Structure 1
Amino acid sequence: MMSDKAAPKAVVADPPRREQLLGVAAELFLHNGYDSVTVEMICAKAGISGPALYRHFQGKQALLIAVVERGLRSLHEFARATVESELDPATALETMVDFHIKSVMNAPPTPLIFLKNEHAFPESDRRRVRREMNLYAEEWISTVVPLRPDLSEPEIRLLTHSVFSMLNAIATLNKGLDHDSIVATMSHAAIQALTAIPHPDNKAP
């Protein structure tokens, strides 16, 4: 015989609220740093109460880890899919550059957030994030290698990470420029830096 007592309702997640918290926290962690950001600051900017935050995250540290992992996962998954589906390395590189730039413009760059707040990560999470960053970089490096026969792999690795730094700087240096100008300027700069083989007469002695 069935009981008249109603079964408890399942708790339904609130994806929009969770995404809102991730976006707010990303901005605060980038511009203020983990140690200066409080749960109260995050909640106030998101327009929610403390208990509402804890429905989605165990605390400030868990929120920081989620912010960084979500952004890196998106970048790496896109780069991997691009490299696997696009046979032409030049086209693959252009596609990854475009996605990276637009990602930085749409949300605070995950690598900068991690580097600024790395001290707040538990060791196991720090290692996992570092591995993910390296795997993302490897997708770019393997794509640039056939385009730069004039460079050794260590040189390509250095160049690629330097381009990452340049593109991530868009988050703080894009004042006064419209969206299309930023994309066009930075895409051209990145592609030139990664693929332009210097003319023999212009090489340093």
Structure 2
Amino acid sequence: MSATSDTPQVGTGDAPRPPTRRTQAKAARRAELLTAAARQMAERGFAGVRLEDIGRAVGVSGPAMYRHFSSKTELLDEMLVDISQRLHDGGAEVVDRGDPPAETLLALIGFHIDVLVTKPDLIVVQDRDLSSMTPEANHRVRLLQRRYVERWVDVVIGVYEEDGRTLDRAEARVRVHATFGLLNSSPRLPDYDETELRHLLTAMALAALGCRA
């Protein structure tokens, strides 16, 4: 099979070629479609959106949509696996800095709130439409979520120990899940000053976790 002009060629000891303009343009359009899909699905739900609706929002015709995604489910899979991977990797990066537990917890809360503020539509879709994914993608998302939760659990237990307290791992896990439920509801909250909202959500998260600032 002959390689296309969009496929980076790698020979022995050769570095991959940089992406072509065509490849970059296709990736940019794909990102636009994912953003439009998240917005529409957050508003109307997975079942209430068609591929044609998503394409129309960014000027892509119905048939041309299938050059980017074979189905609406494939689009949902990519969208939710991506946001789950971002949360997992970002949380791991915060924890791996090796800062004291209390400082790490504040950084984790701040990181999670940053994602909520910048990707609110994705958070809404993830909370509501996880069951519409393919089984394989659903499994991947749930695995990433579990690992993300356990990062938080380790840190919360560390904060308790730092304060001379003990916390059962099962209870810590419940507290972390409850905190996520609290934080992830923020895209549905009434309009509020963003800076004040961050302070309020941080304080509420710390209270739910039973931790002091």
State how far apart, in whole Å, the 1-side matches of 2:133 and 2:191 are.
34
Larger deviation, residues 115-124 vs 133-142: 115-124
Letter of the structure 1 residue corresponding to residue 23 of structure 2? V
Write the deviation string for residues 116-155 of structure 1: whole angstroms up to 9, x where unpaired.
Answer: 2233222222111111110111111111012223421111
1:12 aligns with 2:23: yes
- Structure 1 residue corresponding to 2:197, chosen from 182, 189, 192: 182
- Aligned partner of 1:168 in structure 2 is 184
Write the deviation string for residues 31-85 of structure 1: whole angstroms up to 9, x where unpaired.
Answer: 3221111112111223322244333222211110111011111111011111111
Q: Is the 8 A contact 1:72 1:132 kept in 2?
A: yes
TM-score, normalised relative to structure 2:
0.81
Write the deviation string for residues 76-133 of structure 1: whole angstroms up to 9, x where unpaired.
Answer: 1011111111331111111111111121111136454234223322222211111111
Letter of the structure 2 residue corresponding to residue 12 of structure 1? T
- Aligned partner of 1:147 in structure 2 is 159
Q: Secondary structure at the match of 1:12?
A: helix
State the Cα distance separating 1:30 from its structure 2 match: 2.4
Q: Secondary structure at the match of 2:23?
A: coil
State how far apart, in whole Å, the 2-side matches of 1:96 and 1:104 are.
12
> Share of identical aligned residues, percent?
27
Runs of 4+ in 1 over 6 A off after TM superposition: none
State how far apart, in whole Å, the 1-side matches of 2:71 and 2:78 are.
11
Which of the pair has the greater relative contact order for Cα pairs under 8 Å at 6+ separation?
Answer: 1
Residues 54-73 of structure 1 correspond to what in structure 2 (within 5 A)?
54-73=66-85
1:26 aligns with 2:38: yes
- Aligned partner of 2:147 in structure 1 is 135
TM-score, normalised relative to structure 1:
0.83
Unaligned segments of structure 2, at least 5 residues: 7-21
State how far apart, in whole Å, the 1-side matches of 2:27 and 2:120 are.
19
Unaligned segments of structure 1, at least 5 residues: 1-6, 198-205
- Aligned partner of 1:203 in structure 2 is none
- Aligned partner of 1:156 in structure 2 is 172
- Structure 1 residue corresponding to 2:95, chosen from 79, 83, 99: 83
Q: Is the 8 A contact 1:72 1:110 kept in 2?
A: no
- Aligned partner of 2:206 in structure 1 is 191
Letter of the structure 1 residue corresponding to residue 201 of structure 2? M
- Structure 2 residue corresponding to 1:98, chosen from 107, 110, 113: 110
Q: Secondary structure at the match of 1:85?
A: coil
State how far apart, in whole Å, the 2-side matches of 1:151 and 1:8 are.
57
Q: Is the 8 A contact 2:101 2:159 kept in 1?
A: yes
